[in-house]
Structure 1
């Protein structure tokens, strides 16, 4: 696993913050958001050291909600 430098940590912090906001600011999920943000940054790492670092892309369009066992009632 690559080491996290100051710039990467700032990006991770920002991504984790937006994930937290998107999920409605839940308490007790800081570690989950941090790990998701780390994973996002690792996936986005450039393959060559000369490439400029682009901000990592995170899909926050679908909130992380637990699946329900039953389908909602039909009208």
Structure 2
């Protein structure tokens, strides 16, 4: 898998800054960033896999079926229910 070194550097810098810019943690930050970049690449590869349709956005998916009935709303007593 070809990991973009620029992306790894970017992520490592973000990790370094989020931890308060500690000294002596560059190697750990780099390993964490490489793992994150690899996970991103894996997600991209899965989305672009041939023969698989991309998942629809949540707004376009059918809502889940509910079991049972919802209680009737009474506009006169909104806090009760």
Indicate the TM-score class for this superposition, using the shorter chain for normalisation: 0.5 to 0.7
5+ residue gaps, structure 2: 50-81
In the alignment, which of 33, 38, 49 is matched to residue 37 of structure 1? 33
If asked which structure has higher relative contact order (CA below 8 Å, sep 6+), I would say: 1
Is 1:9 aligned to 2:5, yes or no? yes
1:19 aligned residue: 15
TM-score, scaled to structure 1: 0.54
SS in 2 for 1:28: coil
Ranges of 4+ aligned residues in structure 1 off by more than 3 Å: none
Give 5+ residue unaligned stretches, structure 1: 52-75
In the TM superposition, residue 3 of structure 1 has moved relative to its aligned partner by: 3.9
CA deviation vs aligned residue, 1:20-55 (integer Å, no higher than 9, x gap): 01101101100110011100011111216x68xxxx
RMSD, aligned CA: 2.1
